[in-house]
């Protein structure tokens, strides 16, 4: 059985940020997250599935990064954290990442609509011991951006 891996999603995130946010990101090496909880300010999640696997892809950013991304994507300058467009932007960016990854992957999959969550230091968690989370952090030092990308799948 072939397993869907994170590489197409990493490549898709980098390309989406170059195209839509107009910024080049660097990323840290992929690792297995040792915790079952992700802490963030703004997150969006999409279910990814095929006949062999069910997973979730989560993107998490700080309020500052969410505002920056929204300003770049929409062209609006006066965006604040209470604007609904922030949630829409983060969800749509994740949707574009998954769509792009689907084209890059040898494994075919379907996906759900994005669900976005906002709240200072909110938790995104999975049942302990049942899932593994493959992660990579992306950053741009000039803009002080940090983006977390997490692929959550059933632990083997």
Tell me the residue range of the domain where 138 lies: 7-151
Give a yes or no: residue 98 inside a domain: yes
CB-CB neighbours of 43 under 10 Å? 27
In a domain, 42, yes or no: yes
Tens digit of each residue's pLDDT, the chain (156 residues): 345 688 899 999 999 999 999 988 988 888 887 777 788 999 999 999 988 888 889 999 999 999 999 999 999 999 998 999 999 999 999 999 999 999 999 888 999 999 999 999 888 877 666 566 777 788 887 777 788 888 887 665
pLDDT score of 130: 59
DSSP classification of residue 130: T
The domain tally of the chain equals 1
CB 124 within 8 A of CB 43: yes
Residue 18 lies inside a defined structural domain of this protein: yes
CATH of the domain at 92: 3.40.1550.10
- Domain-located, residue 38: yes
Q: Which residue has the tokens 């599935």?
A: 49
Domain membership of residue 2 (yes or no) is no
In a domain, 135, yes or no: yes
């Amino acid at each position: 059985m072939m397993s869907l891996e994170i590489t197409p999603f990493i490549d898709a995130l980098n390309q989406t940020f170059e195209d839509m946010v107009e910024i080049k990101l660097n990323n840290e090496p992929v690792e297995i997250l040792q915790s079952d909880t992700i802490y963030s300010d703004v997150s969006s999640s999409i279910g990814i599935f095929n006949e062999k696997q069910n997973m979730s892809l989560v993107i998490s950013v700080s309020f500052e990064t969410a505002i920056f991304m929204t300003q770049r994507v929409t062209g609006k300058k006066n965006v604040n954290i209470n604007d609904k467009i922030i949630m829409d932007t983060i969800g749509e960016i994740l949707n574009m990442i998954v769509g792009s990854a689907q084209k890059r992957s040898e494994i075919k999959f379907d996906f759900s609509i994005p669900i976005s969550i906002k709240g200072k230091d909110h938790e995104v968690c999975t049942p302990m011991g049942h899932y593994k989370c493959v992660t990579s952090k992306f950053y741009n030092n000039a803009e002080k951006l940090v983006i977390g990308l997490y692929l959550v799948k059933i632990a083997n």
